[in-house]
């Protein structure tokens, strides 16, 4: 049945109860108060309605044949498009255990029978208002994220492409008149532009692997018990890009020389490279970066200290978001803003934690905590 424009703008409520008398009372109540009403006498029929059409809120009995209230809620929460729908349970039972079970399973509110119509209306309207506010906030956050992605990508693609195109154009048009030094400078600019684009594309591929579960499967299949200090030392000596680290010098205070952790080498070294390069990027050229490794309460704690511009506590969350770049408006940065987001996700694979802290006296401390391996 086609709805009129006026009807389609009404909030849609789904009523689910195996008692026809109660169901009719609810239909009458909500239709009289400006709701578009759908109804079903069990969870199976109600689930079919949720999957087929729009539903803004559900009023549902707990005890029903075929598919009870708790199971119906679980099924709806598993549908991405419907997982946000508010649920209000109705039941003649007022046992605390049942109320707690409903709240733990994700129900938004609980009303016992016999119910006061005005109270039930107030509950439903309150849940719809809250749902609308959350939806509006979600739209705002999505738009903000999209703008940040577009801004970051346009800058990160355009800058190296300008270097590549300009350098190539000069070489093509003035190849015979350019000096050897000038030719080499242009070739280096083209090369650096290509490298920057390659890093950006690789980061996108890696974040897709993480989100798709591929990185997790690689960890499960290839992780080994490894001496962490050896991996840190190896990365410090040969893995990171000195230019991206701003020619900073590194020192290593190793207080856990033989402790192992369960790691996949390429992933852990990628974590270390990103942390080293992030520390160097915000430090003065040739600055000092201190790396410390110690044992603490069953964990290995790895800290990288820099004396750069620092990150405030209010900026930490932004720094670890995808496409998050702190101070982008005032500070020139290279990268798509995926580095620390990848670090955080890799550390989760290792059953560890990653944090950034503002350093007393200026600068930032990046801290990794990973469980010490139980293997000998």
What's the DSSP call for residue 297?
T
Among the three residues 193, 212, 231, which one is the final residue of a domain in this structure?
A: 212
Residue-level pLDDT, tens digit, the chain, 376 residues: 445 545 567 899 999 999 999 999 999 999 999 999 999 999 899 999 998 888 999 999 888 888 888 889 889 988 888 888 999 888 766 555 666 666 666 677 878 788 889 999 999 999 888 888 888 887 777 777 667 666 666 777 788 888 899 989 999 888 888 888 999 999 988 988 888 888 888 888 888 888 888 999 999 999 999 999 999 999 988 766 767 677 888 899 999 999 999 999 999 999 999 898 888 887 888 888 899 999 999 999 999 998 877 665 555 565 556 555 555 544 454 554 677 888 989 999 999 999 988 877 778 889 999 999 976 4
Angle at 27 between CA 71 and CA 14, to 5 degrees: 35
What total of structural domains would you count in the chain?
3
Tokens 């424009």 belong to which residue?
5
Residues 31 and 60 in one domain: yes
How many of the other CB atoms lie within 10 Å of CB of 201? 12
Decide if 91 is inside a domain: yes
Domain at 162, CATH number? 1.10.287.130
Decide if 121 is inside a domain: no
Domain at 30, CATH number? 3.40.50.2300
Residues 208 and 286 in one domain: no
Decide if 153 is inside a domain: yes
Residues 229 and 192 in one domain: no
Residues 244 and 164 in one domain: no
Residues 226 and 295 in one domain: yes
Residues 364 and 236 in one domain: yes
Residues 240 and 357 in one domain: yes
Residues 193 and 228 in one domain: no
Tokens 């020619």 belong to which residue?
247
Are the beta carbons of 56 and 13 closer than 8 angstroms?
A: yes
Residues 190 and 226 in one domain: no
Residues 268 and 356 in one domain: yes
Residues 164 and 280 in one domain: no
Domain with 105 in it:
5-115
Tokens of 310: 């620092």
Amino acid 31: pLDDT = 93
Decide if 127 is inside a domain: no
Residues 220 and 354 in one domain: yes
Decide if 35 is inside a domain: yes
Decide if 74 is inside a domain: yes
Decide if 125 is inside a domain: no
Among the three residues 161, 177, 212, which one is the final residue of a domain in this structure?
A: 212
Domain at 298, CATH number? 3.30.565.10
Of 226, 300, 237, residue with least CA distance to 267: 226
Decide if 134 is inside a domain: no
Among the three residues 168, 194, 212, which one is the final residue of a domain in this structure?
A: 212
Q: Could you give the CA distance from residue 351 to residue 347 in angstroms, rounded to a whole number?
A: 7
Of 263, 260, 277, residue with least CA distance to 215: 263
Q: Could you give the CA distance from residue 303 to residue 87 in angstroms, rounded to a whole number?
A: 45
Q: Could you give the CA distance from residue 281 to residue 328 in angstroms, rounded to a whole number?
A: 13
């Amino acid at each position: 049945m086609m709805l009129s424009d006026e009807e389609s703008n009404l909030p849609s409520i789904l009523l689910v109860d195996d008692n026809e008398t109660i169901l009719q009372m609810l239909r009458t109540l909500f239709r009289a108060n400006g709701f578009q009403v759908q109804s079903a006498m069990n969870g199976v029929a109600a689930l079919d309605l949720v999957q087929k059409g729009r539903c803004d809120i559900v009023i549902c009995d707990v005890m029903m044949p075929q598919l009870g209230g708790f199971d119906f809620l679980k099924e709806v929460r598993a549908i991405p498009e419907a997982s946000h729908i508010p649920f209000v349970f109705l039941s003649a039972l007022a046992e605390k255990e049942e109320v707690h079970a409903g709240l733990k399973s994700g129900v938004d509110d609980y009303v016992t029978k016999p119910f006061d119509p005005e109270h039930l209306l107030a509950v439903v309207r309150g849940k719809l208002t809250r749902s609308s506010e959350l939806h509006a906030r979600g739209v705002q956050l999505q738009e903000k994220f999209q703008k940040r992605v577009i801004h970051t990508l346009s800058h990160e693609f355009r800058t190296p492409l300008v270097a590549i195109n300009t350098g190539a154009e000069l070489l093509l048009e003035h190849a015979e008149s350019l000096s050897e030094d000038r030719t080499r400078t242009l070739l280096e600019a083209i090369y650096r532009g290509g490298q920057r684009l390659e890093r950006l594309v690789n980061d996108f591929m890696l974040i897709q692997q993480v989100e798709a579960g591929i990185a997790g499967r690689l960890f499960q299949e290839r992780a080994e018990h490894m001496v962490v200090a050896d991996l840190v030392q190896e990365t410090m000596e040969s893995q990171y890009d000195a230019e991206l680290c701003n020619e900073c010098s590194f020192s290593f205070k190793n207080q856990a020389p033989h402790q192992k952790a369960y790691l996949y080498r390429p992933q852990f070294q990628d974590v270390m490279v990103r942390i080293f390069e992030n520390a160097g990027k915000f430090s003065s050229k040739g600055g000092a970066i201190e790396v410390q490794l110690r044992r603490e309460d069953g964990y290995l704690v790895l800290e990288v200290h820099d004396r750069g511009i620092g990150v405030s506590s209010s900026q930490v969350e932004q720094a670890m978001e995808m496409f998050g770049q702190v101070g982008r408006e005032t500070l020139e940065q290279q990268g798509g803003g995926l580095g620390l987001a990848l670090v955080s996700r890799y550390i989760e694979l290792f059953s560890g934690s990653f944090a950034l802290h503002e350093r007393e006296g200026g600068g930032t401390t990046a801290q990794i905590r990973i469980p010490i391996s139980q293997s000998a």
